[in-house]
């Protein structure tokens, strides 16, 4: 495999998009395909990817099944993509304060704005994101103005074997406020390469939830990247179930003074699944706060990778940053590789990170059993509680309830 060879632009694209494709492609020239010696891919093998994984020839394989992504009582504006195609019938009209632009039919003014922002939030060293850019044929721009109370949900459903190249650009205008949910689902066997760029202007607030709930056949390499303007605040929640190859990069760049972020996430793996989360808090401006908490439960023969990085640049005075990663191994063959990193170039900061790997404490189990719970029930309860704590932070009660049900059913299916 070779990045350069795979960076094939679609046949027909508007001029501005061709320009972006070329720029993305040029970032891949001479970049070697990652192997075990590539630090960022040390513990995740790309063997599951084959030449077929990049096949975009086949069209839409099936129609979407709305039941699969139904979240009861969640009064959201849904934008539904099935196998990369926007389905108007299944989608809702966007509420006021939100504008939706499809990259393929952006007018000149919109195209100019998109071109000036797209690809600027995702770090240039993310080669799969560059690959996404070089192969980009469509995607969406979401622009938020003012306070948008209704959550906006983007459903990315995959049903077939067609290689998918999702792109999302979110522009939060100054003082705007919104909740955005990205919901990945489907039983497709496709390779999905997704890039979400979230650009938060000064004083804007975004809650971003990204759910990776695809069936375990799908391969996914993607990322959500946020840039925070001055006094912007960002809340993030990630939930990931495993697959043959699943890699999610999350970066939050605190680019404006006084920006804050609160990120949490959970990953649940069983059978021989894999997941790899690379989380990075970049602090380039002073007086920013960031807090990240990720937890994982790894069962059976599954393997998880977590890499959490706090990077404080020279000028980022008065930064406070913490990162926390806890892992539960519930079987003898489960494995986790975790690496919390600190890279700090300023002395006026307060940073901390922590990581743990263990099984459930015998004492906790004993306590519950002494209160009359069976071993199995006590085990499940503790596992559930381990993740449940993070769900309390979700701003939408309906979403939290949905995730709790998902969590419960994951444990019921013998996840632990």
Least Cβ distance, residue 349 to another protein (angstroms): 7
Residues 6+ apart with CB under 8 A from 58: 160, 161, 162
Q: What does the angle CA 182 – CA 124 – CA 126 come to, to the nearest 5 degrees?
A: 55
363 scored as a contact of another protein (CB under 8 A): no
350 scored as a contact of another protein (CB under 8 A): yes
Q: Under rule CB under 8 A, which residues in 10-49 are in contact with another protein?
A: 39
- Binding residue for another protein, selected from 339, 393, 404, 406, defined by CB under 8 A: 339
The smaller minimum CB distance to another protein, of residues 146 and 354, is found at 354
202 scored as a contact of another protein (CB under 8 A): no
Q: Under rule CB under 8 A, which residues in 271-330 are in contact with another protein?
A: 314, 317, 327, 329-330
Give the Å distances, CA to CA, from 84 to 23, 187, 188. Answer: 23, 14, 12
The smaller minimum CB distance to another protein, of residues 146 and 315, is found at 315
The smaller minimum CB distance to another protein, of residues 317 and 404, is found at 317
Least Cβ distance, residue 319 to another protein (angstroms): 10
- What is the number of other CB atoms lying within 10 angstroms of the CB of residue 51? 9
Q: What does the angle CA 136 – CA 23 – CA 160 come to, to the nearest 5 degrees?
A: 20
380 scored as a contact of another protein (CB under 8 A): no
DSSP states along 90-127 = TSPPPPTTEEEEEGGG--HHHHHHHHHHTTSSS-TT-H
How would you write 168-194 as a 3-class SS string? EEEEECCCCEEEEEEEEECCCCCEEEE
Least Cβ distance, residue 225 to another protein (angstroms): 22
CB-CB contact of 20 with 115 (8 Å): yes
345 scored as a contact of another protein (CB under 8 A): yes
The smaller minimum CB distance to another protein, of residues 32 and 354, is found at 354
CB-CB contact of 146 with 174 (8 Å): no
Least Cβ distance, residue 355 to another protein (angstroms): 4
DSSP type of residue 4: H
332 scored as a contact of another protein (CB under 8 A): yes
75 scored as a contact of another protein (CB under 8 A): no
The smaller minimum CB distance to another protein, of residues 235 and 308, is found at 308
- Binding residue for another protein, selected from 358, 363, 372, 413, defined by CB under 8 A: 358
CB-CB contact of 53 with 47 (8 Å): no
Residues contributing to the site for another protein (CB under 8 A)? 39, 314, 317, 327, 329-359
């Amino acid at each position: 495999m070779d990045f350069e060879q795979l960076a094939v632009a679609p046949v027909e694209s508007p001029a501005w998009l061709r320009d972006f494709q070329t720029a993305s492609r040029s970032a891949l020239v001479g970049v070697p395909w990652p192997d075990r010696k590539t630090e960022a891919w040390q513990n995740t093998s790309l063997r599951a990817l084959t030449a077929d994984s990049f096949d975009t020839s086949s069209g839409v394989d099936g129609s979407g099944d709305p039941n699969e992504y139904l979240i009861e009582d969640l009064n959201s504006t849904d934008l539904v993509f099935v196998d990369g195609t926007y389905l108007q019938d299944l989608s809702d009209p966007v509420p006021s304060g939100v504008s939706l632009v499809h990259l393929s039919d952006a007018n000149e003014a919109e195209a100019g704005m998109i071109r000036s922002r797209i690809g600027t939030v995702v770090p240039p060293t993310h080669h799969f994101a560059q690959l996404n850019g070089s192969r980009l044929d469509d995607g969406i721009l979401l622009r938020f103005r003012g306070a948008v109370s209704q959550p906006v949900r983007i459903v990315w459903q995959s049903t077939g074997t067609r290689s998918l190249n999702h792109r999302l650009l979110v522009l939060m205008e100054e003082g705007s406020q919104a909740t955005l949910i990205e919901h990945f689902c489907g039983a497709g066997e496709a390779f999905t390469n997704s890039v979400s760029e979230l650009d938060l202007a000064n004083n804007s607030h975004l809650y971003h939830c990204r759910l990776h709930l695809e069936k375990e056949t799908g391969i996914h390499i993607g990322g959500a990247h946020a840039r925070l303007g001055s006094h912007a605040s960002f809340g993030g929640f990630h939930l990931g179930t495993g697959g043959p190859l699943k890699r999610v990069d999350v970066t939050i760049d605190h680019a404006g003074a006084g920006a804050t972020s609160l990120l949490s996430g959970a990953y649940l793996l069983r059978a021989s699944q894999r997941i790899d989360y690379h989380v990075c808090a970049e602090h380039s401006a002073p007086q920013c706060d960031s807090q990240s908490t990720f937890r994982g439960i790894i069962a059976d023969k599954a393997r998880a990778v977590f890499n959490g990085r706090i990077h404080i640049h020279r000028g980022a005075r008065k930064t406070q940053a913490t990162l926390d990663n806890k892992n539960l191994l519930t079987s003898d063959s489960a494995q986790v590789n975790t690496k919390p990193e600190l890279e700090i170039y300023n002395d006026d900061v307060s940073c901390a990170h922590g990581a743990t790997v263990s099984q459930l404490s015998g004492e906790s189990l004993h306590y519950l059993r002494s209160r009359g719970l069976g071993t199995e029930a006590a085990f499940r309860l503790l596992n559930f509680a381990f993740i449940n704590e993070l769900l309390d932070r979700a701003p939408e009660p309906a979403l939290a309830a949905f995730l709790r049900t998902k969590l419960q059913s994951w444990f019921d299916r013998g996840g632990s």
